[in-house]
Amino acid sequence: MNDRKPKNIFTQGAISPAFIGESIAKHSSQKNIGAHSLFLGQVRSDMIDGKTVAAIDYTTYEEMALEKMQQMRETLFEKYALTCMHIHHSLGRVAAGDISLFVFTSASHRRAAIDACAAIVEQIKAELPVWGKEIFEDESYHWKTNTAI
């Protein structure tokens, strides 16, 4: 058992591109890193039944999500030779075109960084208790469903 308080991954509203740039810059002092892999989820203005998605409103079961993320993190570090991993997920309203998920893995060599990033993105989509409510331009809504692509 790990009694350490899980690391927070949630941030209110969209994740800014400038924050992503700053996160990248922070790694220049880690000179054993040779490869970074980043995944960004951007809110699409999908058309559903003739209405256009203007934003997604994200909610979570935070205590459970953070515990789950901590377990996924530990399993991932056992499987891949990572230097570090950072995960940021939005809560609340994120407008179409803005970023709601930022996954960032770093390693000495590219295969570990790329494979770990792809693996954790799938786990986040499938196993993290987060729900997206797609808000249309007229403020009506539709509960988002995740697909395997």
Binding marks (x or -) toward another protein, 20..49, rule CB under 8 A? ---------------------x--------
- By a kind-dependent CB cut-off of 5 to 8 A, residue 32 interacts, out of another protein, a second copy, none, with a second copy
3-state secondary structure of 123: helix
3-state secondary structure of 126: helix
Instruction: Select the residue interacting with a second copy from 2, 3, 28, 145 (CB under 8 A).
Output: 28
- The least distance separating another protein from the CB of residue 144, rounded to whole angstroms, comes to 4
HSE value, Cβ hemisphere, 13 Å, CA-based, for 121: 20
The nearer residue to another protein, 29 or 143, going by C-beta atoms, is 143
Buried b (16+ CB within 10 A) or exposed e, 131-142: ebebbbeeeebb
Site for another protein (CB under 8 A): how many residues? 26
Binding of a second copy at residue 24 (CB under 8 A)?
A: yes
**Parallel, antiparallel or unpaired: strands 130-136 and 47-48:** unpaired
The nearer residue to a second copy, 74 or 137, going by C-beta atoms, is 137
Window contacting a second copy (CB under 8 A); options: 5-13, 16-24, 57-65, 68-76: 16-24
Q: Ramachandran region of residue 118, left (φ > 0), alpha (ψ -120 to 50) or beta?
A: alpha
Instruction: Provide the residue count of the chain.
Output: 149
Binding of another protein at residue 60 (CB under 8 A)?
A: yes
